[in-house]
Amino acid sequence: MAAKRDRRRIIVRVIAAGIGVFLAIQLVPYGWWHDNPPVEEPASWPDPQAEAIARAACYDCHSHETRWPFYSYVAPMSWLLRRDVEQGRDDLNFSDWNDSDADDAIETIETGEMPPGRYTLIHRDADLSAEEIRSIIDALRVMEDAG
């Protein structure tokens, strides 16, 4: 009986400590603020279908049109999302297309690195078929050639 009570006490303490840590990390300021700067030079998509696919699969991290879901305000998810968006915008930004390199984007898509699995796990519309991937790559090639 005493062993059962001790085990229960330990479980309660572990749960309380976990809740305490969760609440404490909410005070870390990184990831709280989400900004979507103005679109400076939007990508000129040659194909509306490719644009729709890219908006669903890419724009949350690779544009200034990020949709910030409720969990993007709760650490530690807020930290991960903020970092991913900052890196994504630095690597390729459809809202500032003049500074973007479509060749790198094409290579990253072709190797299967984008969209990342952890993103498609939650965003099923970003899990692209071979046809959708081809559509985006073809559009990016046209955009790269157009300058």
* C-alpha distances in Å from residue 138, one per residue of 1, 23, 35, 144: 69, 47, 31, 10
Q: Are residues 81 and 22 in the same domain?
A: no
What is the residue type of 146?
A: A
- Kindly report, residue by residue over 89-132, the tens digit of the pLDDT: 999 999 999 877 888 999 999 999 999 988 899 888 899 999 99
Q: Are residues 45 and 117 in the same domain?
A: yes
Q: Are residues 57 and 3 in the same domain?
A: no
Q: Would you say residue 147 has pLDDT above 70?
A: no
DSSP 70: G
Q: Are residues 78 and 111 in the same domain?
A: yes
Q: Are residues 69 and 86 in the same domain?
A: yes
How much is the pLDDT for 6?
87
Backbone Cα Rg of the chain: 21
Q: Are residues 53 and 89 in the same domain?
A: yes
Q: Are residues 13 and 75 in the same domain?
A: no
Q: Would you say residue 52 has pLDDT above 90?
A: yes
Q: Are residues 19 and 54 in the same domain?
A: no
Q: What is the mean pLDDT of residues 34-60?
A: 93
**What is the residue range of 103's domain?**
33-146
* Nearest one of 129, 95, 90 to 109, comparing CA atoms: 129
Q: Are residues 23 and 48 in the same domain?
A: no
CA 88/CA 71 separation, integer angstroms: 19
Q: Are residues 11 and 43 in the same domain?
A: no
Q: How far is CA 130 from the centre of its chain?
A: 21
How much is the pLDDT for 5?
86
Q: Are residues 25 and 38 in the same domain?
A: no
The count of structural domains within the chain is: 2
Residue 116: left (phi > 0), alpha (psi -120 to 50), or beta? beta
Q: Would you say residue 80 has pLDDT above 70?
A: yes
Q: What is the mean pLDDT of residues 38-60?
A: 94
Confidence category of residue 27, pLDDT binned at 50, 70, 90: confident
